[in-house]
Amino acid sequence: MHPTDDQAILQDRKIAYVVTDRNLTVIEVSGAASILQNWSESWLGHPLLELVPELMGSEQALAGILADQLPRLQIPLVNRDPQTDGRTTYLTLVDLPRRDATGQITGLIHLIQDVTEIGCLEQRLMQQRNELRLLQDELNRQNLQLAAANTELRRLDELKSAFVSIAAHELRTPLTSIVGYLEMLLDGDAGALNQKQTEYLGTVEASAARLLNIAHDLLDMTRIETGHLELVLETVDLLALANEVIAELSPQLDARTQPLDLHAPASLPCVLCDPLRVAQIMGNLINNASKYSPPGSPISLKLAVSDEPEFIQVSVADQGVGIPDLERAKIFEPFFRASTSALMNANGTGLGLSIARALVELHGGRIWVDSAPDTGTIFQFTLPLVHCPPPPAER
């Protein structure tokens, strides 16, 4: 290879080299001018360690190369002070043994390669890694704070549930007693009442019954939140259960002259459910339909086999004020009450529909609502069906 070819390769790869004798004194310098021009004009005759201070501390390694005990020494990414253009230069330094024609080591070949582009990339990569590590540390810190906050929230939620449960229990016992004595007074067990006394006691009884219902709702909500509400499943004639619920709510519906129509096929299959809880669901939906409908407005209760295989579908429809579009998605949330409640003067805690949804889902069904302002509301839910047991054989 022609010497000019060697120089072309060294220039292209940005490599310069220095040759020393065994005393590490420079005897030859050549290679890429872009590297050499940044240093002393003349290296010849100077000790290599004086010209390349990065080799200080590596004397033992250099001696090992001269003694043919080490093949090479490499120091990567040595950075030099910014040059006139403001850039920091990065160099890779490599020391190799220099041999004569007989193979004897006569000195060192010190290679210098400009790797500024790689060095800058390495620096940016290292900076990004450090930034990523800082972000990871911050994320870990925030996760710990979030975990601590979640633990505290769970503790407070448990305290809240325990308080609500205790308060509801403590309220329910005396309220049950109050309602019982009020019923006895209204029945005349303590003597005849005049019209005004009957009216006053009726108002007290209605208020006490409402408080008792609130206590029951709070207890149910606490059991649902803590996972302690259990169902007693049995095969139930849903049509018969619906008639029982209607009979129980008849006084309330009659007081508002709201007719309730029941639609169901005669051959309706039975359902697998907890009858007390399903009666609670239907009663809640019918009660809501009554409260949010004007006096004289009809209510419809429909039982039918669902389009969903192996399910019965229950629908409660009214022609009341409906639910505003923006509030429909929140209607099953605990303690949420639609803005129309004030319009209809409908009392309540906002727990009924939330409890109804939880009870339906515990049965393996689903509940949904279709409504629009001033067009009425239809609540629908499903329950798993079973085949009714055959009637007992006649003797």
Residue 98's CATH number: 3.30.450.20
Confidence tier at 394 by pLDDT (50, 70, 90) = low
Question: Are 384 and 239 in a shared domain?
Answer: yes
Q: Which structure tokens are listed for 392? A: 């007992």
For 13-31, the pLDDT digits (tens) are 888 899 999 999 999 888 8
Mean pLDDT of the region 321-345:
82
Task: Look at residue 40 in the predicted model and tell me its pLDDT.
Answer: 47
* Residue 124 is assigned to a structural domain of this protein: no
Confidence tier at 83 by pLDDT (50, 70, 90) = low
Task: Look at residue 381 in the predicted model and tell me its pLDDT.
Answer: 96
Q: Residue 126: what residue type?
A: M
Give Cβ neighbours of residue 296 (< 8 Å, ≥ 6 apart). Answer: 256, 257, 258
Question: Are 238 and 296 in a shared domain?
Answer: yes
Of 114, 142, 159, the residue at which a domain comes to its end is 114
Single pTM value for the model: 0.58
Of 194, 226, 258, the residue at which a domain comes to its end is 226
Pick 285 or 227 by higher pLDDT: 285
> Contact at 8 Å (CB) between 217 and 351?
yes
**How many other CB atoms are there within 10 angstroms of residue 381's CB atom?**
26
Question: Are 188 and 220 in a shared domain?
Answer: yes
Question: Are 144 and 191 in a shared domain?
Answer: yes
Question: Are 218 and 245 in a shared domain?
Answer: no
Closest CA to 91 of 66, 54, 128: 54
Question: Are 156 and 72 in a shared domain?
Answer: no
Question: Are 102 and 176 in a shared domain?
Answer: no
Question: Are 253 and 354 in a shared domain?
Answer: yes
Report the C-alpha gap between 101 and 306 in whole angstroms.
Answer: 99
224 pLDDT higher than 50: yes
Question: Are 217 and 242 in a shared domain?
Answer: no
210 pLDDT higher than 80: no
358 pLDDT higher than 80: yes
CATH number, domain of 207, equals 1.10.287
Which of 63-67, 89-93, 285-289, 363-367 is least confident? 89-93
Q: What is the mean pLDDT of the chain?
A: 85
- In the chain, how many domains are there? 3
Show the beta-strand stretches assigned E in the chain.
Answer: 15-20, 26-31, 73-80, 89-99, 105-114, 234-236, 260-263, 270-273, 299-305, 311-318, 367-372, 376-386
> Contact at 8 Å (CB) between 38 and 89?
yes
Of 200, 226, 252, the residue at which a domain comes to its end is 226
* Residue 198 is assigned to a structural domain of this protein: yes
Mean pLDDT of the region 306-320:
93
Question: Are 93 and 204 in a shared domain?
Answer: no
Range of the domain at 265: 234-394
Task: Look at residue 174 in the predicted model and tell me its pLDDT.
Answer: 80
Question: Are 205 and 261 in a shared domain?
Answer: no
Most confident of 113-127, 151-165, 217-231, 380-394: 113-127
Question: Are 212 and 290 in a shared domain?
Answer: no
Confidence tier at 163 by pLDDT (50, 70, 90) = low
CATH number, domain of 240, equals 3.30.565.10
Local structure of residue 121 (DSSP, 8 states): H
The residues facing 31 across adjacent strands are 16
Mean pLDDT of the region 141-162:
83
Which of 38-47, 275-284, 377-386 is least confident? 38-47
